[in-house]
Amino acid sequence: MATEAAVDVRNLTAMFRRREGDMAAVNGATFSLARGEVMTILGESGSGKSVTLKAMMGLLPDYASITGEVRVAGRDILKLPPAALAKARGGELSMIFQEPMAALDPVYTIGEQIAETIVKHEGITYASAMQRALALLERVAIPSAARRLKNYPHEMSGGMRQRAMIALALACNPTVLLADEPTTALDVTVQIQILLLLRELQQELGMSVIFVTHDVGVAAEISDRIAVMYAGRFVETGTVREIMRHPKHPYSKGLLNSTVLGGLRGRRLETIPGSPPSLSALPRGCAFSPRCAQADVRCLTTQPDETVLGPGTIVRCFHANTAMAEAI
């Protein structure tokens, strides 16, 4: 029997209207996330990862248009009226933003911000909401939680602010948690703590999580499944084992080969040549073709369709069959 999807995204597109021409930051993203599953969207900066999460939440600016479907609990989030959409944010879909100092309100204490969210969504008393806020800070392992409840964001360290941001995101027990590079601005030791905390909370609460990162090591640590994104499209998806051991797309291979590992000491690090294309002026064919050693005439002139390799496993490359043969 198939596992019920926690979120089902179909043909999600985010188009930004600009004076010099429209720009598609996300171009037809389609995926399903099972209950309790963690999927990482992996790719370089500018590939459309963060825009995908913000489009799912309906948080893009007015000059952006979002099309497609984002279904949670059978409802298309993008079709909800404003009041119902505001209720769904934080309740069904919740988000941990990349930079908590910018996401948290500087003029309210951490406790006030968490309590306000709980009161707005659940209608309980402010005193009860503050008790819940205290329990949430304790759950995310913030020391001296009762004192931190009265702190303003600037009075906390980066790691503590990120834990407070996680507590805020979990305040109303969301079905799906979206995490937008939540460890980017943190030092390595704190990064590991935050990753372990997120994985522990995800398993404890049975949440589905979509995690965004450009760090291959983070993706390997946190994920059940990986979606590799390039120039606004998913170019390969599969289990973490499949992607890490047998990547099929040349871009996926490039990301893995350019990752610094302990066993590479004394060896020259491989890099992906060139730079990501401008999303407002994509190549005619495969977006990765100008940087790809395998590119041929077909790659330069035609956009490859998805090749389905198995349940939840796709690759968007004309050379997918060759890559599969090499992996056997």
CA distances from 235 to 111, 224, 232, 307 (A): 42, 18, 9, 10
What is d(CA 100, CA 158) in angstroms, rounded to the nearest whole number?
A: 8
pLDDT higher at 45 or 4: 45
pLDDT score for 278:
86
Q: Is the pLDDT of residue 325 over 50?
A: no
Average pLDDT, the chain: 89
Letter for the amino acid at 249? H
Give Cβ neighbours of residue 270 (< 8 Å, ≥ 6 apart): 254, 257, 258
pLDDT higher at 272 or 312: 272
Q: Is the pLDDT of residue 113 over 60?
A: yes
Percentage above 70 pLDDT, the chain: 94
User: What is the CA 68 to chain-centroid distance, rounded?
Assistant: 18
What is d(CA 176, CA 173) in angstroms, rounded to the nearest whole number?
A: 9
Q: Is the pLDDT of residue 253 over 90?
A: yes
Percentage above 90 pLDDT, the chain: 60
CA distances from 221 to 96, 194, 250, 263, 265 (A): 18, 12, 22, 18, 22
**Residue range 117-143, pLDDT digits in tens:** 999 999 899 999 999 999 999 999 899
Comparing 148-162, 201-215, 255-269, 299-313, which segment has the lowest mean pLDDT?
255-269
What is d(CA 164, CA 157) in angstroms, rounded to the nearest whole number?
A: 10
Indicate yes or no: pTM above 0.95.
no
pLDDT score for 3:
58
pLDDT higher at 194 or 152: 152
The CATH class of 1-33+46-79+211-260+279-328 is alpha beta
Give Cβ neighbours of residue 217 (< 8 Å, ≥ 6 apart): 259
pLDDT score for 281:
84
pLDDT score for 261:
62
> Residue 328: which pLDDT band, with cuts at 50, 70 and 90?
very low
**Residue range 154-212, pLDDT digits in tens:** 999 988 999 999 999 999 989 999 999 888 777 888 888 888 899 999 999 889 999 99
pLDDT score for 187:
81
